[in-house]
Amino acid sequence: MTAPFADRLADAVDRAGNPCVVGLDPHLAHLPEEFSAARDAAAPRAERARAIGDFLVEIVDACAGRVPAVKPQSAFFEAFGADGVHEFERVVAASKDAGLLVVGDVKRGDIGSTAAAYAQAFLTGLEGQDPRTLCDAITVNPYLGTDSIAPFVDACRAADAGLYVLVRTSNPSSAELQAVEAGADGETVSDLVADAVVGWGSELVGERGWSSIGAVVGATHPDELARLRERMPRTPLLLPGYGAQGAGAADVAGGFRDGLHGALVNSSRGILFAGSKRPEMHWKDAAVEAMESMASELRAVLLER
């Protein structure tokens, strides 16, 4: 890698002309029929995992040149154990080969040398490891505090990688802890995490003005999104919740600055399984159409402001 994650991301958004990230969440029940081996409980685990990988490599091919990034969700691979993780590595490498940035959605969080081992797993790699199998950025969980994030930040500096720290997630229960008032000024737990994210990323601001240490903020909370964008002015955001979870282009607009920059908007099921609502089309054509339609919706809102 040759430039900080933040700069590579800004360039990738410019090249693609949109800020979409395609979430690679291979729900078994929705996989197109030609990959139904993944659902066959009688098939060997490696074969089932391979069918998932085959589907996603096709999706990655559909993404190439159309979006800046993909976001593989580790859980769906880990459900197939070592065979699933083998496919995770294959899908990451295929994405790199296709010129896509890879945001590994792993939500790891642990302390000291354990966090360093996770950073090695996803960002820095073993000595001599093929860099195609490593992520450009990963999601991490802040519950353990600064000494749990520092090893990941060090890894970002060493490997020109990035982080997206969970600040305010898109799910209904996210308010239980994240929206709790903490301290005298009416600040929430999310606000404290947001301030910490700014601090963690302050030394990793690239030439385009963005830090490589980003934040996850659910697109399902538009008001908070605008507020958190102000609070974290140089922090790239990752916005889940578009499409299947109910948020639209207008809801995410508050996360952006400077046209298409400042945020990536994730859609997973809405793109991967677009074919299930378009039986007349091939599933891959339906995925491309869904991607292009999401891109134009976002462009319309973001570039016409």
Nearest Cα to Cα of residue 134 among 101, 99, 98:
101
Q: To the nearest whole angstrom, how small is the minimum distance from the Cβ of residue 36 to a copy of itself?
A: 15
Q: Name 171's Cβ contacts closer than 8 Å, sequence gap at least 6.
A: 218
The sign of the CA dihedral 14, 19, 25, 26 is negative
107 is catalytic: yes
- Which member of 3, 57, 64, 192 binds a copy of itself (CB under 8 A)? 192
Q: What residues between 198 and 227 interact with a copy of itself by CB under 8 A?
A: none
Q: Which is nearer to a copy of itself, 109 or 255 (CB)?
A: 109
Per CB under 8 A, the list member of 181, 207, 230, 258 interacting with a copy of itself is: 181
- Asked whether 210 and 9 are in contact (CB, 8 A), the reply is yes
Tell me: does residue 291 bind a copy of itself (CB under 8 A).
no
Q: Does 146 bind a copy of itself (CB under 8 A)?
A: yes
Joined together, the tokens standing for residue 70 give: 């993909």
Number of residues counted as binding a copy of itself (CB under 8 A)? 66
113 contributes a contact to a copy of itself by CB under 8 A: yes
Q: Helix (H, G, I), strand (E, B), or coil: what is residue 279?
A: coil
d(CA 110, CA 151): 10
Choice from 34, 36, 82, 282 touching a copy of itself (CB under 8 A): 82
Residues 12 and 22: beta-carbon distance below 8 Å: no
Say whether residue 112 binds a copy of itself (CB under 8 A).
Answer: yes
Question: Would you count residue 154 as binding a copy of itself (CB under 8 A)?
Answer: no
Q: How many CB atoms within 10 Å of residue 304? A: 6
Torsion of CA 255, 195, 121, 160, to 10 degrees: 70
| Closest among 2, 48, 92, 19 to 301, alpha carbons compared | 19
Which of 3, 17, 133, 289 binds a copy of itself (CB under 8 A)? It is: 133
Smallest gap, in angstroms, from Cβ of residue 128 to a copy of itself? 6
Q: Is 259 in the site for a copy of itself (CB under 8 A)?
A: no
Q: Are 164 and 200 in contact (CB under 8 A)?
A: no
Which of 63-71, 80-88, 255-263, 292-300 is the region at the interface with a copy of itself (rule: CB under 8 A)? 80-88
**Least distance (Å) from a copy of itself to the CB of residue 29?**
9
Give me the catalytic one of 71, 107, 277, 284. Answer: 107
Decide if 206 contacts 261 (C-beta within 8 A): no
Torsion on CA atoms 174, 180, 183, 188, rounded to nearest 10: 40
Q: Does 42 bind a copy of itself (CB under 8 A)?
A: yes
**Residue 152: alpha-carbon gap to chain centroid:** 16
By CB under 8 A, name the one of 172, 233, 246, 259 that touches a copy of itself.
172
How far is C-alpha 67 from the chain's CA centre? 13
Residue of 33, 173, 279, 280 that binds a copy of itself (CB under 8 A): 173
Cβ at position 192, least distance to a copy of itself in Å: 7
Active site residues: 107
What does the binding site for a copy of itself look like in residue numbers (CB under 8 A)?
25, 27, 41-42, 45, 48, 73, 75-76, 78-86, 88-89, 107-115, 117-118, 120-122, 126-129, 133, 141-148, 166, 169-178, 180-183, 189, 192-193, 196
